[in-house]
Amino acid sequence: MINRARLLETFFEYVKIDSETGNEKAMADRVAADLAAIGCEVATDRAGEAIGSNGYNIYATLYGENDAEPIMMSSHLDTVAPGVGIEPYAQDGVIRSRGETILGGDDKSGVAAIIEALRCVAERRLRHRTVEAVFTICEEGGLRGAQELEYGRIQSKNAAVFDSGGDVGRIITTAPGQIRIDAEIIGRAAHAGVNPEDGVSAIVVAAHAVASMKLLRIDSETTANIGTFLADGPTNIVTERVKFRAEARSRNQQKLEAQAAHMASCLEKACETFGAKLHCRTQTSYIGYHVPKEHRFVCQVMRACEAIGVEPVTASSGGGSDANIMAQNGITAVVLGTGMDRVHTIDEQITIDNLNHTARLALQLMLA
């Protein structure tokens, strides 16, 4: 029932709309108009004003005629950079971008698939459950759009978030939480050639702290990484300040907290040893979630996969998504593969078959 040609055309049109994080208005306007044309009840919010975006979250409802409980389907409207001037093309069944940009399949493959499924339901007048389609902004900027969702608008208790790599059939039931660590190490400046012994090098302090940290792969559930180690100054001055930004992730909350505390402790001990000052802040970005394989919603998604002829596989993820925030707000959310591959790189691609399977899965879940 999916109109393959229309789906491909819609996907191409969507990825050509510039919508890097914080600049989602044109994409949001287009998707809201498409939803209204389908016959959905469409509402928006002012999330962009709160988080520095020109866009907004979209809430669309297509009321159903059967007794099945409502379902929420979600994807995000923004992309990472470089995502301006994307030129998609298809060759040998694979969609890629020309030039030096991403493709934008993360996450416009999910957006296009949900839209196509809703179009099929509406034009064929298929008997369906109530569908709440929610499209967020600023997912790539720290899940901020999902954090600003007005959850009182949403009636569904279960959500299918179309936003994962891997072929259609991949069901992410477990994802980690994340704690961010932002620190500034303040040493003491001195002339590096005349009286360096009077200085305290913030670079040396930070280097000792990092050298004592457990980083990267900690165990099967836990990772840690430093993203920013910034000091900028002349070579003839003992460097006074270093900025440090890092993260810890784990699918185990106790391990997550322990790893973040370990990293902060390494900074504290190094500063104490060398006589530097430390300004350090740890902040939970999101908590992890786990949905048991036996949960009835997971079973429902697995049956829908089987109904369209793809093999369902449950998996865990090392990354966060809007589903983490939805879980914190009482929604049982799983993240579904759309076939997006090599995301966040200029080599990003997706097969036409996976794009179609994504729309077919969305439609099957609407009809359940």
- Residues tagged active-site: 78, 139
* Phi, psi dihedral angles at 75 (to 5 degrees): -150, 165
CA–CA separation, 214 and 223 (whole Å): 9
Q: Coil, strand or helix: which one is 242? A: strand
Instruction: Answer whether 117's CB lies under 8 Å from 111's CB.
Output: no
Chain Cα centroid distance, residue 137: 10
Task: Give every CB contact of residue 149 below 8 A, 6+ residues apart in sequence.
Answer: 45, 47, 57, 134, 136, 325, 326, 329
Determine the Cα–Cα distance for residues 166 and 156; give it in Å rounded to an integer. 26
3-state secondary structure of 233: coil
d(CA 307, CA 294): 18
Inter-residue contact 201 to 239 (CB < 8 Å): yes
In the numeric block, which tokens belong to residue 294? 């036996």
